[in-house]
Structure 1
Amino acid sequence: MLLARNAARWSRALALALFAISTGLSQPATAEIDNAALANQADSRNWAAWGKNFDEQRFSTLDQINKQTVSRLGLAWSLELNDVWNVSSQPLAIDGVLYFAVGYSVVHAVDARTGTLLWKYDPKIDSKKMRMAWGSRGLAYWQGKVYTGVQDGRLFALDAKTGQLVWETLTTEPGDNRYITGAPRVWAGKDGKGRVIIGHGGADFGHVRGYVTAYDAETGKQDWRWWVVPGNPADGFENKAMEAAAKTWSGEWWKFGGGGTVWNAMTYDPEFNRIYLGTGNGSPWNAKLRNPGGGDNLYLCSVVALDADTGEYLWHYQTTPNETWDFNSTMDMVLATVEIAGKPRKVIFHAPKNGFMYVLDRETGKLISAEKLGKVTWAEKVDMATGRPVENKGVRYEGGEALTWPGSGGLHNWQPMAYSPRTGLVYIPAREMAGYYNDKEIDPRTWQMDKDGPLGIAGFFDDVPKNAGKSSLLAWNPLSQTKAWELPTPGATAGGVIATQGGLVFQGQADGKFVAHDADTGAVLWSADMGVGTQAPPLTYEVDGKQYVSVLAGWAGGQMLLGSLSAQHGWVGREHPRRLLTFALDGQAALPASAAPSEVKPLHEPGFAIDPALAAKGKPLYGKNCTICHGTGVVAGGYAPDLRASPVPLAAPAFKAIVQGGALEARGMPKFDELSDEELDSIRHYIRLRAEEKPTLWSQVKAIWGFIVLMVKMELLKRGWIDG
């Protein structure tokens, strides 16, 4: 068996080499990507990590493409990726090869000059984990190996030349709610040992206690693990940090898990040999349920510094104590050395969901400054004496409901920001959207996470109108904590950004445009059609002395949830492309044809007799099982079909075969075999009710009036003129 595997590996490597020689293509990368390479911001030939370098500034020193030449930018090549559903991911570029993980962590290696596929590796996800449909946001590279996590909790390493599996390990427990979507990070500490670290998501799906784990980069053997929140005190504590954290919790939080997942932000600091973690929200969201006696709930919604060799806790700064709004701090963190009060300071720039920009001292964790980036109503300010937010009255839904800005989507979400040392500005894909929280029907004495839903607030099942939110590209001076400029972007969400020495900021938009902005003024200097919207961050790199800019384009991922707000651009259904686009000066390639944006027309079927009682039972079942892909209010906003326009729910046998029997698992539709025939029927009736529903003028007026009344009430509470 061993000889057979080695023979197959040698045969594949030989075939790749002969193919590269015969076609003039580069072989996959041979660069020694190590600490020296990842700490070298000046060398921008490669884009070798999630944020390019350890500092995660997403700033390239390349300037061949600049303000004067960007008008010559054209498509060099494109690669269609029609066999994956989600491409909201960050590629890497090393020695003329692009690596990216898309869909369910299917890793591709592509020649950066031509777009020719060199190899592909599919880890074959556990179908049960398809239900948490976010996809992979990125991967890591270290000394000839490519690393990424899988939705079902695995972490694996591939040989960068051949795509062969080197090692694989399960980072979670079989059958738990944890899953991986974020990119791992790799480094060598003071002890010289290479380590790869990964966290996980899942707190919004119930019973999850967050942690991060560091593994030996060569073997995959677990090295250390750090838990974010404490477990059951009766079982003892893993370390002093967990013992201290337990004093900030109350009730029996461990029964719910507590949350605190590190699903995105991790940054290695070679100057201090530290890992900085951005930690997640509480589980359940509602603090009254998980923490009835109050307390800060460490280390939720925090920046945490750990020793990179041992995982030992060093310091933390909590952005949202005892959070109750899904205000996680898992947004990217940027490391920089800047001059403050005439002296160089090593700092972290951090813009989490809660709407503030934080500047922290990297050595001590001390808060240097914090200011609102936009519309923020949950807190008046951050008190610089205590480092704590000054909350407004009523925002913790003391009276049973609250309306806040931002909402659970945050003012800044996972789409990464960039920092330019050239301009001194941070460029943030920002959004403005309210959050409505309601726990009127929740009784802490009887609430059960499995039965009543993992969030601990009333579920929202209705459509989200397309004018419910808006987005912008925000240029912010983090030292003066002032806005330099801001430009609106289409829709309620846009892609991550990069900045360059050429004075440019690149961003993909929801309307299908890829745009280059003047980094100093925000002016649009160039744009190109992608054929579909995107949330993915771009990258830039150099091959054979030529600068390229690449971006993954495709409409899927978290934006599928928000009904008409997500669907407004017309990227609905599988007919729109997923593709990798690469641009260079004087590029002459033609963009492949793609379907025009379209508006879904619900299927009208008078022969289907809707049972209102069944539809009412189906509404929460749809919300729990279907919304994440097919959209709230049965209005699809992404890759999955809009079920209002599908004939499948009209036929009970077909619906049963797909939903209960898994007939379309190969196309990414998971099997829900735990649903009974009666539950399936109720979901069908709810789908058909939504398909036939036509909002009346009166219903819209009532919705608007209710929204106004709630806003007035929140303002009166804030001013102390009424009690909650």
Structure 2
Amino acid sequence: MRRGWIAALALIGLAGCARTGTDTAAGAGDDWSTPGGDAGKTHFSRLGEITPANVGTLGFAWAYDLGTGRGQEATPVVIDGVMYTSGQAGRVYALDAASGRELWSFTPDLDMQAARAACCDMVNRGVAVTAGKVIVGALDGWLYALDAKTGKVAWKADTITDRTRGYTITGAPEVAGDLVVIGNAGAEYDTRGYVTAYRIADGKAAWRFFTVPHDPKQGPQESPALDAALKTWDPASRWDIGGGGTAWDAIAYDAAADTLYVGVGNGGPYSIAERSPKGGDNLYLSSIVALDRKSGRLKWHYQETPGDSWDYTATQPMILTELTVDGRRRPVIIHAPKNGFLYVIDRETGKPLAANALVRTSWASGYDLKTGRPRLTPAGSAYWQGPKIVFPGSPGARNWMPGAWDPARGLYFASVLDMGNLIFPTVSGAPPRRAKALNTGAALIFTPDLVEALPTLPPPVRAAVEALPEMKWVREKPYSAEIRAIDPLTGKTRWTVPTGGWQDRGGVLATASGLVFHGMLDGRLVARDAGTGRALKAIDTGSSIMAAPMTYRVKGVQYVAVATGFGGGGWPYVPDYSAAYRYGNANRLIVFKLGGGAVPKPAPLPPLEVAPAPPPQAAGTTPAVIAHGQQLFFQNCAICHSNQPRSTAPDLRRLDGAVHAMFDRIVLEGALKDAGMPRWDDVLTKADAAAVHAYLKEMQVKTRTRELALKRAGKPLDSRSLAILSNY
């Protein structure tokens, strides 16, 4: 593995469109009542005490140690002076919003075997607060309702229909009247997506909507919507794997229409040639589905990526607002999913009003708004017929990082990534389902690493890749990562500013006073002029920031708050420009106010030491055993263990003697499950564990040899040099 993340996974302009007027969700005030700020999830605040003129005095107010060291993606909720926020795997914290004093905290009793199926860190994106309850989804699939005053469990509900499969929860619940709705993650594993509504009063299930059909041989579908969807799937589809379509984020409720809008995830396995061999749109993958709140019945759907094969989820945050289009005021959804396009969708009909490309797109050349369908370019994206470089890549042009909508300026502020990946099948034929394990059937190499990785590819594959026309894009601009201000109806960018690297993209906050706030992986919280993008203030926190900032007011004082911690997709691959690389990844909630002081920064990490020598290989260890261990490592372990020295998970090439001695107890018996390492004896045999151990010893020897050479040459033991070893 190199410096990037290599993982085995896998608006047309409208003439005469007016600017926006008043929003249906006009932004948050003193309270910030949902992770998105308001009912429309606009991440926009009406507060105006902090302005472009005085933001230069913004400084430290207080901080709270979350007690963890993983990715932080949640935006806090503040109601009546109390802050509620979630953290790693579904922990919840209630704090005095003016002082940071802890009122209570909650840690779910986590089933690590279920949590093992988390593709993208043990993250959580927020809580719902309603009717005296704080509701959170834990990583292992349990939905908890906690008493808002005490933190005690009022009820809990098991959201997982089949615990032999790789379901988890990472998203925030959505309150809809007297119901709370939650989806699950796991489309890369062996799951069939759905959302479930529970009664807030007692946690009883009210209805469930499945997002993909089941095998018709198993009996009738659960709803007429699935009968219709079944016609878009091959009857010989890989029903055993599940189909994917998990709704891991992006659930929004429109009270006026009494409608829920749910973003649906990618297909599983990735390739439609494997998942649904005869093709088809494969509804409702990569779609927005509008559901009746009371019954869960489908009202309409809009599929943004028909026949998804590229991990193009539609689970990215939606913004509900109103726009004037062709002289008519319409309720709309502003949505930028992974696939590279920015959509404006009519909330009443599900029809796209605009669909503009934000980045380079090789899978489609644009959209026909009359049909609502993309103009596909199969020659450039059908990787099951041969390796392809597909833009955008699996990380998406947009991802979970919330954007913000400023109704007065008519601008959508968001992080945008223009990057592709080489994608190719990992197997031929139809491999059996791997329970609770990755079933993507594809491998990825991201374009920032592709030129360097070419020599490591088999000669025929290398020649085929070098001949692809997209290599010109790769050589000209492997990627760009930016914060942009965008007109959603035209797709035109008002301003853009680069961020530090392709992993450096976080959530955004906009305010009525004309400010845009966002964090960066290098540890800075940046305040920009909403009209120009000019940086007005940058505060070095010493902690990497991905989550969206928020703002609230208590007793006349306006505060800005943000959670810190690197993680998410590719979470073990800590970039060397990040604060997490320099200071570690201790998670904090940091709050700012006008006239505040300097942020206390963590102590810098000590210099890297040369890897210790591992114990000798066991008798009978052969190159074939080591090769088998390498295969098992990349199938099961590499998604968490990047084998980089500053990784947020242990670098397994740097183990000391005591850990080597208890290797089997850790891997097969769960000796470190309380530290986040589950047992693997349901997947790996004792011989398998020995093979993985042998491979890691081999890597440790090579790491030590190289580091000794670097030390003798007076060169730093940096992650860039060491990461290359992962390809040995």
Fold match by TM threshold 0.5 = yes
Q: Hey, what does 2:270 align to over in structure 1? A: 285
| Alpha-carbon distance between aligned partners in 2 of 1:513 and 1:377, rounded to the nearest angstrom | 34
Q: Which one of the candidate residues 543, 564, 572 is aligned to 1:532?
A: 543
Contact 2:166 2:436 in 1 (8 A): no
Q: What is aligned with 1:682?
A: 691
Q: Separation in 2 of the partners of 1:394 and 1:122?
A: 47
Partner Cα separation in structure 1 for residue 362 and residue 445 of structure 2: 21
Is 1:645 aligned to residue 654 of structure 2? yes
Would the aligned equivalents of 1:105 and 1:136 in 2 still touch at CA under 8 Å? Answer: yes
Shift of 1:606: 7.8
Distance, in Å, in 2 between the alignment partners of 1:380 and 1:361 is 22
Secondary structure of the corresponding residue to residue 125 of structure 1: coil
1:159 counterpart = 2:147: yes
**Paired letter, 1:222:** A
8 Å CA contact 1:401, 1:440 repeated in 2: no
Provide the C-alpha distance between the structure 2 equivalents of 1:427 and 1:293, rounded to a whole number of angstroms. Answer: 40
Aligned to 1:147: 135
| TM-score between both structures, scaled by the size of structure 1 | 0.85
Matching residue within 531, 534, 542 for 1:520 = 531
Contact 1:199–1:212 (Cα < 8 Å) also in 2: yes
Please, which of 206, 221, 233 is the counterpart of residue 223 of structure 1? 206
**Contact 1:128–1:670 (Cα < 8 Å) also in 2:** yes
Q: Alpha carbons of 1:451 and 1:106: their partners in 2 closer, same or farther (altered >3 Å)? A: closer
Alignment of 1:359-438 (within 5 A): 359-392=344-377, 393-438=379-424
1:601: Cα distance to partner?
5.6
1:184 aligns with 2:173: yes
Q: Does 2:193 match 1:210?
A: yes
- Cα distance change, pair 52–652 in 1 and its aligned pair in 2 (3 A): same
1:587-626 to 2 correspondences below 5 Å: 587-588=596-597, 590-596=598-604, 603=611, 605=613, 608=616, 612-626=623-637
Q: Among residues 310, 320, 328, which one is paired with 1:325 in the alignment?
A: 310
Letter in 2 for 1:439: P
**In the alignment, which residue of structure 1 is the partner of 2:248?**
263
Count of aligned residue pairs for this structure pair: 649
> Which residue is 1:171 aligned to?
159
Equivalence for 1:718: none
Distance in 2 separating the partners of 1:163 and 1:453: 35
SS at match of 1:254: coil
The answer on whether the counterparts of 1:145 and 1:158 sit within 8 Å (CA) in structure 2 is: yes
Asked if 1:201 corresponds to 2:185, the answer is yes
Range 634-643 or range 339-348, more displaced: 634-643
1:176 maps to amino acid: R
Given that 1:44 and 1:60 are in contact with CA atoms closer than 8 Å, whether structure 2 keeps it comes out as: yes
**1:425–1:478 contact (8 Å) kept in structure 2:** yes
Residues in 2 aligned to 1:440 and 1:42: alpha-carbon distance in whole angstroms? 46
Q: Specify the code of the residue in structure 1 equivalent to 2:520.
A: Q
CA distance in 2, matches of 1:534, 1:549: 14
Q: Which residue of 1 aligns with 2:565?
A: 554
Letter in 2 for 1:224: W
Amino acid at match of 1:502: S
Paired residue secondary structure (1:382):
strand
Q: Please give the alpha-carbon distance, in whole angstroms, between the structure 1 residues aligned to 2:33 and 2:109.
A: 25
Local SS of the residue matching 1:643: coil
Q: Percent identity, aligned pairs only?
A: 38
CA shift for structure 1 position 651:
5.8
| Paired residue type of 1:161 | K
SS in 2 for 1:120: strand
1:482 to 492, 497, 505: 492
Task: Give 1:472's match in structure 2, choosing from 467, 482, 487.
Answer: 482
Does residue 73 in structure 1 map to residue 54 in structure 2? no
**Letter paired with 2:552:** Y
Give 3-state SS (helix, strand or coil) of 1:629's partner: coil
Is the 8 Å Cα contact of residues 526 and 539 (structure 2) preserved in structure 1?
Answer: yes
* Equivalence map 1:2-13=2 (5 Å): none
Quick one: which of 84, 87, 99 aligns to 2:72?
A: 87
1:232-251 superposed matches below 5 A = 232-234=215-217, 235-250=219-234, 251=236
Q: Please state whether the residue corresponding to 1:685 is helix, strand or coil.
A: helix
Shift of 1:612: 3.7
CA contact (8 A) 2:164 2:435 kept: no
For the 8 Å contact 1:570–1:598, the answer to whether it is kept is no
Distance 1:500 1:165, change over 3 A: same
Q: CA separation in 2, counterparts of 1:118 and 1:624?
A: 43
Range 282-291 or range 451-460, more displaced: 451-460
Q: What per-residue deviation string (whole Å, max 9, x for no partner) do you get for residues 512-567 of structure 1?
A: 11111111111111111121212111110010111100001112332314x36x45
Paired residue secondary structure (2:624)? helix
Structure 1 position 180, deviation (Å): 0.6
| Aligned-partner residue type, residue 317 of structure 1 | Y
Deviation (angstroms), 1:262: 0.3
Deviation digits for residues 178-213 of structure 1 (CA, Å, limit 9, x no counterpart): 11110001021xxxxx1100000112112x111001
Instruction: Report the secondary structure of 2:207's partner residue.
Output: strand
- Asked whether the 8 Å contact 1:536–1:551 carries over to 2, the reply is yes
Alpha carbons of structure 1 residues 440 and 652: separation in structure 2 relative to 1, 3 Å: closer
The equivalent residue for 1:33 is: none
| Cα distance in 2, alignment partners of residues 346 and 463 from structure 1 | 39
Does the alignment pair 1:672 with 2:685? no
TM-score by length of 2: 0.84
- Mean alpha-carbon deviation: is it higher for 681-690 or for 232-241? 681-690
Relative to structure 1, the CA distance from residue 636 to residue 47 in structure 2 (aligned partners, 3 Å threshold; closer, same or farther) is farther
Runs of 5+ unmatched residues, structure 1: 1-37, 189-193, 705-724
- CA distance in 2 between counterparts of 1:463 and 1:606 reads 33
Partners of 1:570 and 1:441 lie apart in 2 by: 38
Give the Cα separation in 1 of the matches to 2:447 and 2:375. 32
Q: Secondary structure at the match of 2:253?
A: strand
Q: Is the 8 Å Cα contact of residues 550 and 582 (structure 1) preserved in structure 2?
A: yes
Paired residue type of 2:603: A
Q: Per the alignment, do residues 470 and 677 of structure 1 end up closer, same or farther by CA in structure 2, a change over 3 Å counting?
A: farther
SS of the residue 2:674 aligns to? helix
Give the one of 354, 358, 375 matched to 2:339. Answer: 354
2:618 maps to 1:629: no
What secondary structure is seen at the aligned counterpart in 1 of 2:323?
A: strand
Cα distance in structure 2, aligned partners of 1:83 and 1:591: 19
- In the TM superposition, residue 624 of structure 1 has moved relative to its aligned partner by 2.6
Q: CA deviation at 1:453?
A: 5.0
Instruction: State the alpha-carbon separation in 2 of the partners of residues 304 and 528 from structure 1.
Output: 40
The 3 A distance-change label for structure 1 pair 606 and 205 is closer
**Structure 1 residue matching 2:262: 3-state secondary structure:** strand
* Contact 1:49–1:141 (Cα < 8 Å) also in 2: yes
Q: Which residue of 1 aligns with 2:554?
A: 543
Structure 2 residue matching 1:656: 3-state secondary structure? helix
Partners of 1:451 and 1:418 in 2: CA distance: 35
Contact 1:461 1:619 in 2 (8 A): no
User: Structure 1 CA distance, aligned partners of 2:331 and 2:153?
Assistant: 39
What is the root-mean-square deviation of aligned Cα atoms in Å?
A: 2.8
Most deviating of 83-92 and 230-239: 83-92
Check the 8 A contact 1:572/1:636 in 2, yes or no.
Answer: no
Indicate the SS of the match to 1:627: coil
Give the Cα–Cα distance (whole angstroms) in 1 for the partners of residues 541 and 583 of structure 2.
Answer: 16
Q: What is the Cα deviation at residue 432 of structure 1?
A: 2.5
More relative contact order, 1 or 2 (CA 8 Å, 6+ apart): 2
What is the CA distance between 1:53 and its match in structure 2?
Answer: 1.3
SS at match of 1:104: helix
Q: CA shift at 1:239, angstroms? A: 1.5
Distance 2:49 2:86 in 1: 28
CA deviation after TM superposition for structure 1 residue 654, in Å? 2.3
